[in-house]
Chain A
Amino acid sequence: MAQDSVSLFVCSQQKELTSKKRDEFEDILEERRLSSDLRYAMKCYTPVIYKGLSPCKPNAIKSAVLQSEQVQYVIKQLAKEMGESPDIIQEEATEILDEMGHSMQLGAVRFFAFALSKIFKRLFQRVCVNEEGMQRLQHAIQEHPVVLLPSHRSYVDFLMLSYLLYTYDLALPVIAAGIDFLGMKIVGELLRRAGAFFMRRSFGGNRLYWAVFAEYVKTMLRSGYAPIEFFLEGTRSRTAKTLTPKFGLLSIVMEPFLKREVFDTYLVPISISYERILEESLYAYELLGVPKPKESTSGLLKARRILSDSFGTIHIYVGQPVSLRTLASGRINRCPYNLVPRHLPQKPSEDIQEFVSDVAYKMELLQIENMVLSPWVLVAAVLLQNLPAMDFELLIEKTLWLKGLTQTFGGFIEWPDNLCAKKAVMSGLALHSNIARLVDGHVILNDKGVEDGAVGEIVFKHALAILMCATYRNQLLNVFVRPSLVAVALQMTRSFRKEEVYSCFSFLRDVFSDEFIFFPGISLKDFEEGCFLLTKCDAIQISQQEIYPTDKGSVIVSFLSAMFRPFVEGYQLIFRYLSKETKEAFTEKQFIPGVRNFVFQLLEKGNTQCYEALSSDMQKNALAALVQLGAVKKKKMSNGFTYNVNQEAVNKILDMFDARIPVQKPVAARL
């Protein structure tokens, strides 16, 4: 029965994949350019709200949280254990709450409405929204508590979303933000007044903090006070590739429904995509280990020079609200919470943890499905396979070709109206002139300063350019990952036997489980979907036992596997580092610079071309994959985690790669 319902859960997801009909977009900046921002900011704002709402002030919520049975219970427990008076702990809880709590005020909201209008108009050409999505959201907000789950690529995300809801007269969300924002003078407080609440980055061990935080979020949800917004990815994705979900907050917002304190809860996946990401170069530096500047107000002021730059169009797709009740029906044992008072902190059962994880993945997959891809994304993907320089005409041709393929795979491309391919590519190049440019009919990466300077410098600059470019290609990866891994598996096994291809696919899927988004536990379904998509574009043919590429299909198969080659090679490099260079236990802080140096040296010597292995994101994912595969032991120490490599196991995994695919093989399949 459980098995059935799981497959049901997945089925519905695949059905959505095939029967795709997407809404039209509407530019919200257009009206802002025509009328007064001040009047807009001062407009009569009477948002639609939850039907069961009993209006209350932010402070009333705080005191309700403090007085709640949940928090009081933990306070009493802690008092007993530590032998302190409950008053002191209560005091502590109050402080936590004051640090955390938002204090939404219409004044601050209006200030933002005004300021953001000005800023957005300068930064972006257009901000496009699917209006039908907004209408669905409007209904949802009135019906049940709503949780907004946007993708996270930039700080602009949550500002933009609040701005959007204000524009459409919807209740403004309260937003879970990292505590680091509080470090910013004035801005932190301003964000607080605009509805942000702040959570510490890690508070696993702090029971009081956890209790207060969870209860704060749940109280707002239960009372329908405001939509709750947070990022499943936990942090901005530096690579523009969806990060694997975090479960903590999601399990908190799911609990009121699971305990039947509310009738239902709507989860709304929202995909925000940027034609050009504001933080693109910051991210690239960060991935290469140049530390991220701490959030500070003066930093923000310095950043205003970007105001003179253009960042193209933003697409926001508000997905169909997903009813948690519908997701849970038939899946969750009816009464998991019946035998213990609901206010006692209770570790969720395995069933429920699995359910939370499935929901998280499902939501991310929905985000991915509706994420708009700009022409430039295609250009970047083609360009990266044809470095150092590519003929402009060929680039256009390949871009068009890739457009067709992407659409076959269900990618959501917004091609600017009636724009011919050449113009589209040109405008992409113009917008991203910092990354690539057109020289003598060839497009080359913009790694200025390469000619002079030390070898190290050259490698660094080049890596920077590649990572920036990869940020755009990355947006395609989750759309392409299933067919591509089939293609990679076909090449790796050099066999056409379905079983072997599948087992290789399955291995790759496990290895890359932190790199790309796969719904847990449906390896075979993913494989079938990948095969289906490849047959759909005539790249392969499938018989009872065998899979083989068609004549015409070898182009596609090579392109797809080349697209993922940086990951296949990068992972091997990182695994090799781990198998050879690490003898003792190490921490993540030691691992990242270690592997970076290792790759750096190889690049300097010209022993590899895999610049992307320098990305700390890939390095962390590879390590996490090994932990999951049991080849690395992760132990919790007082000051974080330490890792122990099981050399033999890592070598075995390397063999899986090596025995079948030579690492240093020159790019086999140029297009």
Chain B
Amino acid sequence: QELLKWNGWGYNDSKFIFNKKGQAEFTGKRYRLGGMVLPTFKEWIEKTFGASLEHKTTSRASLNVNDVPPSIVNEEFLQDLRATKISYSQDAEDRVFRAHGHCLHEIFVLREGMFKRIPDIVVWPVCHEDVVKIVELACKHNLCIIPFGGGTSVSSALECPEEEKRTIISLDTSQMNRILWIDEKNLIACVEAGIVGQDLEKQLAESGFCTGHEPDSMEFSSLGGWVATRASGMKKNIYGNIEDLVIHIKMVTPRGIVEKNCQVPRMSTGPDIHHFIMGSEGTLGVVTEVTIKIRPVPEYQKYGSVVFPNFERGVACLREVAKQRCAPASIRLVDNAQFQFGHALKPQVASIFTSFLDGLKKFYITKFKGFDPNILCVATLLFEGDREKVLQHEKQVYDIATKFGGLAAGEDNGQRGYMLTFVIAYLRDLGLDYYVIGESFETSVPWDRVLDLCRNVKERIVRECKEKGVQFAPLSTCRVTQTYDAGACVYFYFAFNYRGISDPIHVYEQIERAAREEILANGGSLSHHHGVGKLRKRWMKESISDVGLGMLRSVKEYVDPNNIFGNKNLL
């Protein structure tokens, strides 16, 4: 917690700033971009958003403790809690830190206002048994528990329901972060659910293994959170999504503990109870231990990238790759606006030689091959595995790309593309300083509708902005970020300059909502991996039908009749 920002994304020491010369710079040493100057970035921001460095807003420097709603916890419960020796806190900062995820409106509140309702107390169980005790106490005293993992939710899932009168306990799983055992024969590992993605990979790597599950938030998000939201990782093409990775889940509910009797690759015993748990978004209980598949760390990794003359050709190529089932560990296609964005984040080049080479490359692509720099788009690739197989695989993919007019554009571009997905989250904080607000959202969609959906949603955003009085054209861009046999996952970024608008958050939410309705009208899903939370609840009924919703409700009613897990997500 000390390392992390209290009012923005990620580490305290990592952020975008404009240095004394007015050039953009990324601070800190944690990322490859750290300490580098980004010479074209300022111009891009000014051009894209009409933002200017002179117009700046500033966040409060620190939390004003007096604004924070008081902690109301009854003394009997506190006595019982102390008896369990589980550590807890009623400190204002601790509670505010766990009152939100990373939706735009949440960050905005942190910078300029205060939440109406936050947890009254934070507890830190260190093992499964601790969780059992806490849940028992909560049932005994009729309190509300909101499980908290990495705090990276973007669905308002962590927000406390304003009307909750009971004491809200934030159950922080971060101290349950051990790998309990590794079973090399079956290639599985049993891990406590609070472990954060990067720690899990680091610790497994010590034994030569990995899970291969890498959501963009993996530096901060937790295993339990992945399970609770049906997370998806960048390299799912090799390792699978969370539902493919999980072998066994132990969850503590008000009814007791739910688990299976064995750890097997598959079983036919009625509907898989794991599927009630995965995506339950903290409404049923706390995931405490997960047995997850592991793989030997790959021998070789190689990045790559391909330039396409336009987005349509790019999508056609990804479709073909998916059809031939030869997708590399990751394959992503960014549209032109995002390509230009990536370009703007290019660091200052070290030598004249590289700059010369860049120029030459650009000349080749635009002049010689006739690609229009305002239309072309780029696919980034990541291959993993045996060195030999990777090279073979690489050739196969590039051959397909050639058929769709693609040109190989080098490892460097590919690698930068993936690095960007980690630092892009930091960018919003910079934007907020200059009247630019933005967010990302995602969906999944059948192949035949990918192009229509991307075009219509982007267009809808632009139009809605205009209608709502946004004075500058917004950034409205997308990438096809995952491929499947039957469709793809599409990721949108959307940001605009809100100068001149009195209630930017409201306007923003209206536009986001319109964009979601557009997605649904175009045959896209409510969510591919972010989940529903409270942000997208209103569309659940039309997404899964009345009966479907009833099925989920009846599970909730059985498992948690008193609504102890009362975060009000999903249903």
Q: Chain B: which residue is nearest A342 at the CB level?
A: B448
B residues 170-216 in Cβ contact with A at 8 Å? none
**A116 vs B448: C-alpha distance in the bound complex, in angstroms?**
45
Interface string of A305-343 (1 = CB under 8 A from B): 000000000000000000000000000001101100110
**A263, B517: Cβ atoms closer than 8 Å:** no
Q: Name the A residues within 8 Å of B520 (CB-CB).
A: 334-335
CB pair B448–A263 under 8 Å, yes or no, is no
Beta-carbon nearest neighbor of A256 in chain B:
B452
Contacts of B48 in A (CB 8 A): none
The interface bits of chain A over 235-267 (1 if a CB of B lies within 8 angstroms of the residue's CB, else 0) are 000000000000000000000000011010000
Known: A263-B460, A335-B520, A335-B542. 16 other contacts (CB 8 A): A260-B449, A260-B452, A260-B453, A260-B456, A260-B522, A260-B523, A261-B452, A263-B455, A263-B456, A263-B459, A334-B517, A334-B520, A335-B521, A335-B523, A338-B523, A342-B448
CA gap between A341 and B456 in the complex, in Å = 18
Complex CA distance for A337 and B517, rounded to whole angstroms: 15
User: Does more than half of chain A's interface fall in helix, strand or loop, or is it mixed?
Assistant: loop
The interface residues of chain B lying within 8 Å CB-to-CB of A261 are 452
Chain A residue at minimal CB-CB distance from B312? A54
Task: Give the residues in chain B near A337, CB-CB below 8 Å.
Answer: 523
The complex places the Cα of A263 from the Cα of B458 at a distance, in Å, of 10
Chain A residues with CB below 8 A from B455, complex form: 263
Report 25 cross-chain contacts, Cβ distance below 8 Å, ordered by A residue.
Answer: A260-B449, A260-B452, A260-B453, A260-B456, A260-B521, A260-B522, A260-B523, A261-B452, A263-B455, A263-B456, A263-B459, A263-B460, A334-B517, A334-B520, A334-B521, A334-B542, A335-B520, A335-B521, A335-B523, A335-B542, A337-B523, A338-B523, A341-B448, A342-B448, A342-B449
Residues of A near B453 (CB, < 8 A) are 260
Q: Which residues of A contact B (CB under 8 A)?
A: 260-261, 263, 334-335, 337-338, 341-342
Shortest distance from the beta carbon of B542 to any chain A beta carbon, whole Å = 7
Interface string of B520-548 (1 = CB under 8 A from A): 11110000000000000000001000000
**A-contact 0/1 string along B422-456, CB 8 Å cutoff:** 00000000000000000000000000110011011
Interface of B is mostly: helix
List the A side residues contacting B449 at CB < 8 Å: 260, 342
Cα A511 to Cα B41 with chains together (Å): 70
Closest A-B pairs by Cβ, 7 of them: A338-B523, A334-B521, A260-B522, A263-B459, A263-B456, A334-B520, A260-B452
Cα-based distance from A338 to B524 in the complex (angstroms): 8
Query: What is the distance, in angstroms, from B524's C-beta to the closest C-beta of chain A?
Result: 9
User: A261 CA to B521 CA in the complex, in Å?
Assistant: 11
Which of B452, B460, B542 has the most CB atoms of chain A within a 10 A radius of its CB?
B452
Shortest Cβ distance from residue B315 to the other chain A in the assembled complex, whole angstroms: 15
A residues less than 8 Å from B517 (CB atoms): 334
- B526 to A: closest C-beta gap in Å: 11
CA distance A544 to B449 in the complex (A): 56
Which residues of A lie under 8 Å from residue B542 when comparing CB positions? 334-335
Identify which of B452, B520, B521 gathers the most chain A CB atoms within 10 Å of its CB: B521
* Chain B residue at smallest Cβ distance from A258: B521
Instruction: Report B-chain residues with C-beta under 8 Å of the C-beta of A335.
Output: 520-521, 523, 542
User: In the complex, A263→B456 CA distance in Å?
Assistant: 5
Closest A residue to B458 using CB positions: A263
A521 to B41 Cα, complex, angstroms: 58
Report the minimal beta-carbon distance from B115 to chain A, rounded to whole angstroms: 32
Residues from chain B with Cβ under 8 Å of A338 in the complex: 523
**Distance between A195 CB and nearest chain B CB, rounded to angstroms:** 27
B97-134: which have CB < 8 Å to A? none
Q: Whose C-beta in chain B lies nearest to the C-beta of A332?
A: B521
Q: How many Å lie between the Cα of A263 and that of B521 in the bound state?
A: 11
Least CB distance, B495 to chain A, in whole angstroms? 21
Q: Which residues of A contact B448 (CB under 8 A)?
A: 341-342
The CA of A261 and the CA of B452, in the complex, are separated in Å by 6
| Identity of the chain B residue whose Cβ is nearest the Cβ of A334 in the assembled complex | B521
> Bound complex: CA of A554 vs CA of B183, how far in Å?
99
What's the Cα separation between A341 and B452 when bound, in Å?
Answer: 14
| Contact partners of A263 in chain B: CB under 8 A | 455-456, 459-460
- Closest CB-CB distance, A394 to chain B, in whole Å? 55
> Chain B residue with minimal CB distance to A144?
B459
List the B residue with the shortest CB-CB distance to A259. Answer: B452
CA distance A260 to B523 in the complex (A): 9
CB distance from A355 to the nearest CB of B (A): 14
Distance of A342 Cα from B522 Cα, bound (Å): 11
Which residue of chain A has its CB nearest to the CB of B525? A338
Which B-chain residue is minimally distant from A333 (CB atoms)?
A: B542
Expressed in whole angstroms, the minimum distance between the Cβ of A388 and any Cβ of chain B is 60
Shortest Cβ distance from residue B319 to the other chain A in the assembled complex, whole angstroms: 14
**Which residue of the partner chain A has the closest CB to B446?**
A341
In the complex, what's the smallest C-beta–C-beta distance from A561 to chain B, in angstroms? 47
In the complex, A519 Cα to B459 Cα: how many Å?
32
A340 CB to nearest B CB, Å: 10
Interface centre among B460, B522, B542 (most CB of A within 10 A): B522
